[in-house]
Structure 1
Protein backbone atom coordinates (compact mmCIF):
# COMPACT_ATOMS: atom_id res chain seq x y z
CA UNK A 1 0.00 0.00 0.00
CA UNK A 2 1.17 3.51 -0.87
CA UNK A 3 0.53 5.97 1.97
CA UNK A 4 -0.12 9.50 0.69
CA UNK A 5 0.29 11.55 3.85
CA UNK A 6 -0.70 15.18 3.45
CA UNK A 7 -1.48 18.46 5.15
CA UNK A 8 -2.86 21.64 3.58
CA UNK A 9 -3.72 25.13 4.81
CA UNK A 10 -5.05 26.86 1.70
CA UNK A 11 -6.00 23.94 -0.53
CA UNK A 12 -2.95 23.61 -2.78
CA UNK A 13 -1.36 20.63 -1.02
CA UNK A 14 -4.78 18.99 -0.60
CA UNK A 15 -5.35 19.25 -4.36
CA UNK A 16 -1.86 17.88 -5.00
CA UNK A 17 -2.49 14.89 -2.70
CA UNK A 18 -5.85 14.20 -4.37
CA UNK A 19 -4.22 14.33 -7.81
CA UNK A 20 -1.49 11.95 -6.65
CA UNK A 21 -4.20 9.59 -5.38
CA UNK A 22 -5.85 9.68 -8.83
CA UNK A 23 -2.52 8.71 -10.36
CA UNK A 24 -1.97 5.99 -7.77
CA UNK A 25 -5.36 4.50 -8.64
CA UNK A 26 -4.25 4.29 -12.27
CA UNK A 27 -0.98 2.63 -11.23
CA UNK A 28 -2.74 -0.36 -9.74
CA UNK A 29 -1.30 -0.57 -6.22
CA UNK A 30 -3.46 -0.06 -3.16
CA UNK A 31 -3.13 3.38 -1.60
CA UNK A 32 -4.40 5.34 1.37
CA UNK A 33 -4.90 9.10 1.41
CA UNK A 34 -4.16 10.07 5.02
CA UNK A 35 -4.32 13.50 6.61
CA UNK A 36 -1.16 14.16 8.63
CA UNK A 37 -3.20 14.91 11.75
CA UNK A 38 -4.68 11.39 11.82
CA UNK A 39 -1.91 9.25 10.26
CA UNK A 40 -0.38 6.89 12.83
CA UNK A 41 2.75 4.78 13.15
CA UNK A 42 0.56 1.72 12.42
CA UNK A 43 -0.52 3.32 9.13
CA UNK A 44 3.14 3.77 8.24
CA UNK A 45 4.08 0.20 9.16
CA UNK A 46 1.25 -1.02 6.91
CA UNK A 47 2.56 1.05 3.98
CA UNK A 48 5.10 -0.26 1.49
CA UNK A 49 5.90 3.28 0.32
CA UNK A 50 5.17 6.93 1.03
CA UNK A 51 4.32 10.19 -0.66
CA UNK A 52 4.58 13.15 1.71
CA UNK A 53 2.59 16.20 0.53
CA UNK A 54 2.53 19.53 2.36
CA UNK A 55 2.87 23.28 2.03
CA UNK A 56 5.96 25.26 2.79
CA UNK A 57 5.32 27.89 5.47
CA UNK A 58 8.07 30.34 6.36
CA UNK A 59 10.69 28.13 4.73
CA UNK A 60 9.69 24.87 6.41
CA UNK A 61 6.91 22.32 6.43
CA UNK A 62 3.57 23.09 8.04
CA UNK A 63 3.29 22.49 11.78
CA UNK A 64 0.77 19.67 11.37
CA UNK A 65 3.09 17.80 9.01
CA UNK A 66 5.97 18.29 11.43
CA UNK A 67 3.72 17.03 14.25
CA UNK A 68 3.07 13.87 12.20
CA UNK A 69 6.80 13.26 11.87
CA UNK A 70 7.38 14.04 15.56
CA UNK A 71 4.57 11.70 16.65
CA UNK A 72 5.73 8.84 14.44
CA UNK A 73 9.52 9.23 14.40
CA UNK A 74 10.54 7.12 17.40
CA UNK A 75 7.86 4.42 17.03
CA UNK A 76 9.03 3.80 13.44
CA UNK A 77 12.79 3.65 13.97
CA UNK A 78 14.08 0.35 12.59
CA UNK A 79 10.62 -0.70 11.35
CA UNK A 80 10.31 0.78 7.84
CA UNK A 81 13.88 0.90 6.59
CA UNK A 82 14.44 0.76 2.85
CA UNK A 83 10.90 1.65 1.84
CA UNK A 84 10.49 4.11 -1.05
CA UNK A 85 9.33 7.68 -0.66
CA UNK A 86 8.77 10.84 -2.65
CA UNK A 87 7.61 14.36 -1.83
CA UNK A 88 5.25 16.95 -3.26
CA UNK A 89 5.44 20.46 -1.85
CA UNK A 90 3.21 23.47 -2.44
CA UNK A 91 5.34 26.59 -2.01
CA UNK A 92 4.98 30.26 -2.70
CA UNK A 93 8.39 30.94 -4.20
CA UNK A 94 10.90 28.28 -3.03
CA UNK A 95 10.12 24.85 -1.50
CA UNK A 96 13.67 23.72 -0.87
CA UNK A 97 13.50 24.41 2.88
CA UNK A 98 10.65 21.97 3.34
CA UNK A 99 12.26 19.50 0.96
CA UNK A 100 15.48 19.50 2.98
CA UNK A 101 13.60 19.19 6.25
CA UNK A 102 11.66 16.11 5.11
CA UNK A 103 14.79 14.53 3.63
CA UNK A 104 16.65 14.95 6.94
CA UNK A 105 13.79 13.44 8.93
CA UNK A 106 13.31 10.37 6.73
CA UNK A 107 17.06 9.77 6.69
CA UNK A 108 16.54 8.60 10.27
CA UNK A 109 13.94 6.12 9.06
CA UNK A 110 16.32 5.00 6.28
CA UNK A 111 13.75 5.54 3.53
CA UNK A 112 14.85 5.62 -0.14
CA UNK A 113 13.93 8.53 -2.38
CA UNK A 114 12.64 7.07 -5.66
CA UNK A 115 11.52 10.19 -7.51
CA UNK A 116 12.78 13.76 -7.75
CA UNK A 117 11.03 16.30 -5.53
CA UNK A 118 7.82 17.72 -6.96
CA UNK A 119 7.70 21.38 -5.94
CA UNK A 120 4.72 23.39 -7.16
CA UNK A 121 5.18 27.15 -6.91
CA UNK A 122 2.02 29.16 -6.34
CA UNK A 123 3.72 32.56 -6.47
CA UNK A 124 2.14 33.53 -3.14
CA UNK A 125 4.47 36.08 -1.58
CA UNK A 126 2.23 38.80 -0.11
CA UNK A 127 -0.31 38.55 2.73
CA UNK A 128 -3.31 38.56 0.38
CA UNK A 129 -1.90 35.87 -1.92
CA UNK A 130 -0.52 33.77 0.97
CA UNK A 131 -3.91 33.67 2.72
CA UNK A 132 -5.95 33.11 -0.44
CA UNK A 133 -7.42 29.74 -1.31
CA UNK A 134 -5.14 28.23 -3.96
CA UNK A 135 -6.19 27.03 -7.37
CA UNK A 136 -3.47 25.09 -9.18
CA UNK A 137 -3.06 24.87 -12.95
CA UNK A 138 -3.75 21.58 -14.70
CA UNK A 139 -0.03 21.12 -15.43
CA UNK A 140 0.86 21.22 -11.71
CA UNK A 141 -1.86 18.72 -10.85
CA UNK A 142 -0.76 16.48 -13.72
CA UNK A 143 2.76 16.39 -12.25
CA UNK A 144 1.23 15.09 -9.01
CA UNK A 145 -0.91 12.51 -10.86
CA UNK A 146 2.21 11.33 -12.68
CA UNK A 147 4.10 11.05 -9.39
CA UNK A 148 1.30 9.04 -7.77
CA UNK A 149 1.16 6.74 -10.79
CA UNK A 150 4.94 6.30 -10.83
CA UNK A 151 5.01 5.31 -7.16
CA UNK A 152 2.01 3.01 -7.47
CA UNK A 153 3.25 1.33 -10.65
CA UNK A 154 6.75 0.93 -9.24
CA UNK A 155 5.39 -0.69 -6.08
CA UNK A 156 3.00 -2.92 -8.04
CA UNK A 157 5.83 -4.12 -10.30
CA UNK A 158 8.22 -4.59 -7.39
CA UNK A 159 10.62 -2.00 -8.82
CA UNK A 160 10.95 -0.27 -5.45
Structure 2
Protein backbone atom coordinates (compact mmCIF):
# COMPACT_ATOMS: atom_id res chain seq x y z
CA UNK A 1 0.00 0.00 0.00
CA UNK A 2 2.74 2.43 0.96
CA UNK A 3 4.76 1.52 -2.13
CA UNK A 4 1.74 2.17 -4.36
CA UNK A 5 1.22 5.59 -2.75
CA UNK A 6 4.91 6.36 -3.17
CA UNK A 7 4.82 5.29 -6.83
CA UNK A 8 1.80 7.50 -7.44
CA UNK A 9 3.47 10.47 -5.78
CA UNK A 10 6.72 9.92 -7.69
CA UNK A 11 4.85 9.81 -11.00
CA UNK A 12 3.31 13.23 -10.30
CA UNK A 13 6.12 15.03 -8.49
CA UNK A 14 9.44 16.09 -9.99
CA UNK A 15 11.07 16.42 -6.56
CA UNK A 16 12.22 13.83 -4.08
CA UNK A 17 9.65 11.28 -2.92
CA UNK A 18 10.81 9.04 -0.09
CA UNK A 19 9.35 5.92 1.48
CA UNK A 20 10.63 5.34 5.00
CA UNK A 21 9.79 2.67 7.52
CA UNK A 22 8.64 4.13 10.83
CA UNK A 23 11.79 2.82 12.54
CA UNK A 24 14.00 4.66 10.03
CA UNK A 25 12.19 8.01 10.08
CA UNK A 26 12.91 10.78 12.53
CA UNK A 27 12.25 14.45 13.18
CA UNK A 28 14.67 15.61 10.48
CA UNK A 29 12.74 13.57 7.89
CA UNK A 30 9.43 15.06 9.02
CA UNK A 31 10.83 18.59 8.85
CA UNK A 32 12.35 18.00 5.40
CA UNK A 33 9.06 16.86 3.83
CA UNK A 34 6.47 19.11 2.24
CA UNK A 35 3.68 16.57 2.82
CA UNK A 36 3.08 13.12 4.27
CA UNK A 37 1.29 9.85 3.69
CA UNK A 38 1.23 7.94 6.96
CA UNK A 39 0.68 4.20 6.50
CA UNK A 40 0.13 1.62 9.22
CA UNK A 41 -1.37 -1.76 9.83
CA UNK A 42 -4.11 -1.83 12.39
CA UNK A 43 -3.02 -3.88 15.41
CA UNK A 44 -5.59 -4.58 18.12
CA UNK A 45 -7.75 -1.66 16.91
CA UNK A 46 -4.82 0.77 17.03
CA UNK A 47 -1.89 2.00 14.97
CA UNK A 48 1.09 -0.35 15.02
CA UNK A 49 3.57 -0.09 17.86
CA UNK A 50 6.30 0.96 15.43
CA UNK A 51 4.13 3.78 14.09
CA UNK A 52 3.32 4.85 17.64
CA UNK A 53 7.05 4.88 18.40
CA UNK A 54 7.65 7.07 15.33
CA UNK A 55 5.06 9.59 16.49
CA UNK A 56 6.40 9.46 20.06
CA UNK A 57 9.96 10.18 18.89
CA UNK A 58 8.98 12.91 16.44
CA UNK A 59 6.02 14.66 18.04
CA UNK A 60 7.68 17.29 20.23
CA UNK A 61 10.78 17.95 18.07
CA UNK A 62 8.58 19.03 15.14
CA UNK A 63 5.66 20.57 17.05
CA UNK A 64 4.80 24.03 15.67
CA UNK A 65 7.31 23.53 12.84
CA UNK A 66 5.09 21.65 10.36
CA UNK A 67 1.82 23.56 10.79
CA UNK A 68 -0.42 23.50 7.74
CA UNK A 69 1.44 20.84 5.79
CA UNK A 70 -0.77 18.34 3.97
CA UNK A 71 -1.14 14.70 4.92
CA UNK A 72 -3.12 11.61 4.10
CA UNK A 73 -3.27 8.22 5.81
CA UNK A 74 -3.45 4.56 4.83
CA UNK A 75 -4.59 1.78 7.18
CA UNK A 76 -4.42 -1.93 6.45
CA UNK A 77 -7.04 -3.48 8.72
CA UNK A 78 -8.35 -6.93 9.43
CA UNK A 79 -11.91 -5.82 10.03
CA UNK A 80 -12.39 -2.09 10.67
CA UNK A 81 -9.40 0.28 10.82
CA UNK A 82 -11.36 3.32 11.93
CA UNK A 83 -9.70 3.61 15.35
CA UNK A 84 -6.20 3.49 13.85
CA UNK A 85 -7.25 6.19 11.38
CA UNK A 86 -8.65 8.28 14.25
CA UNK A 87 -5.40 7.93 16.19
CA UNK A 88 -3.36 9.22 13.26
CA UNK A 89 -5.84 12.06 12.69
CA UNK A 90 -5.58 13.13 16.34
CA UNK A 91 -1.80 13.19 16.15
CA UNK A 92 -1.91 15.09 12.86
CA UNK A 93 -4.33 17.57 14.43
CA UNK A 94 -1.84 18.11 17.24
CA UNK A 95 0.84 18.81 14.64
CA UNK A 96 -1.67 21.13 12.95
CA UNK A 97 -1.37 19.26 9.66
CA UNK A 98 -4.04 19.60 6.99
CA UNK A 99 -5.90 16.45 5.98
CA UNK A 100 -6.24 16.41 2.19
CA UNK A 101 -8.21 13.15 1.91
CA UNK A 102 -10.32 10.85 4.02
CA UNK A 103 -8.28 8.00 5.54
CA UNK A 104 -7.96 5.14 3.08
CA UNK A 105 -8.72 1.94 4.98
CA UNK A 106 -8.07 -1.34 3.19
CA UNK A 107 -9.77 -4.26 4.91
CA UNK A 108 -8.22 -7.74 4.51
CA UNK A 109 -10.99 -9.50 6.49
CA UNK A 110 -8.33 -11.51 8.37
CA UNK A 111 -10.20 -12.79 11.43
CA UNK A 112 -8.54 -16.07 12.44
CA UNK A 113 -5.08 -16.36 14.00
CA UNK A 114 -3.85 -18.07 10.83
CA UNK A 115 -5.28 -15.40 8.54
CA UNK A 116 -3.97 -12.60 10.73
CA UNK A 117 -0.44 -14.02 10.71
CA UNK A 118 -0.43 -14.89 7.00
CA UNK A 119 1.13 -12.55 4.42
CA UNK A 120 -1.52 -10.33 2.85
CA UNK A 121 -2.14 -9.78 -0.85
CA UNK A 122 -3.72 -6.40 -1.43
CA UNK A 123 -5.97 -6.37 -4.50
CA UNK A 124 -5.26 -4.36 -7.61
CA UNK A 125 -8.20 -2.02 -7.09
CA UNK A 126 -7.11 -1.21 -3.55
CA UNK A 127 -3.53 -0.64 -4.70
CA UNK A 128 -4.82 1.66 -7.44
CA UNK A 129 -6.63 3.69 -4.77
CA UNK A 130 -3.38 3.95 -2.79
CA UNK A 131 -1.58 5.11 -5.92
CA UNK A 132 -4.26 7.75 -6.60
CA UNK A 133 -3.89 9.01 -3.03
CA UNK A 134 -0.15 9.50 -3.56
CA UNK A 135 -0.74 11.12 -6.95
CA UNK A 136 -3.31 13.49 -5.49
CA UNK A 137 -1.07 14.64 -2.66
CA UNK A 138 1.87 15.17 -5.03
CA UNK A 139 -0.26 17.02 -7.58
CA UNK A 140 -1.66 19.30 -4.89
CA UNK A 141 1.85 20.08 -3.68
CA UNK A 142 3.14 20.70 -7.22
CA UNK A 143 0.25 23.05 -8.03
CA UNK A 144 0.55 24.89 -4.72
CA UNK A 145 -2.97 23.86 -3.69
CA UNK A 146 -1.70 22.57 -0.34
TM-based fold match above 0.5:
yes
Q: Give the TM-score normalised by structure 2.
A: 0.97
Partner in structure 1 of residue 145 of structure 2: 159
The TM-score with structure 1 as length reference comes to 0.89
Counterpart of 1:62?
48
Structure whose residues are more often strand by fraction: 1
1:32-88 residue CA offsets vs partner (Å, 9 max, x unmatched): 111100101000100010000010010000000000000000101111000000001
Matched, 1:129 2:115: yes
Q: Post-superposition shift, 1:108?
A: 1.1
Select which of 75, 92, 111 maps to 2:97.
Answer: 111
What's 2:11 paired with?
26
Give how far 1:109 is off: 0.6
Measured against aligned partners, the alpha-carbon deviations of 1:129-151 in whole angstroms (never above 9, x if no partner) come to: 00000011100100000001001
Q: Helix, strand or coil for the counterpart of 2:67?
A: coil
Counterparts of 1:1-160 in structure 2, within 5 Å, are 16-29=1-14, 30-160=16-146
CA RMSD of aligned residues (A): 0.7
List runs of 5+ in structure 2 lacking aligned partners: none
Q: Which runs of 4+ in 1 moved over 2 A?
A: none
User: For this pair of structures, how many residues does the alignment match?
Assistant: 145
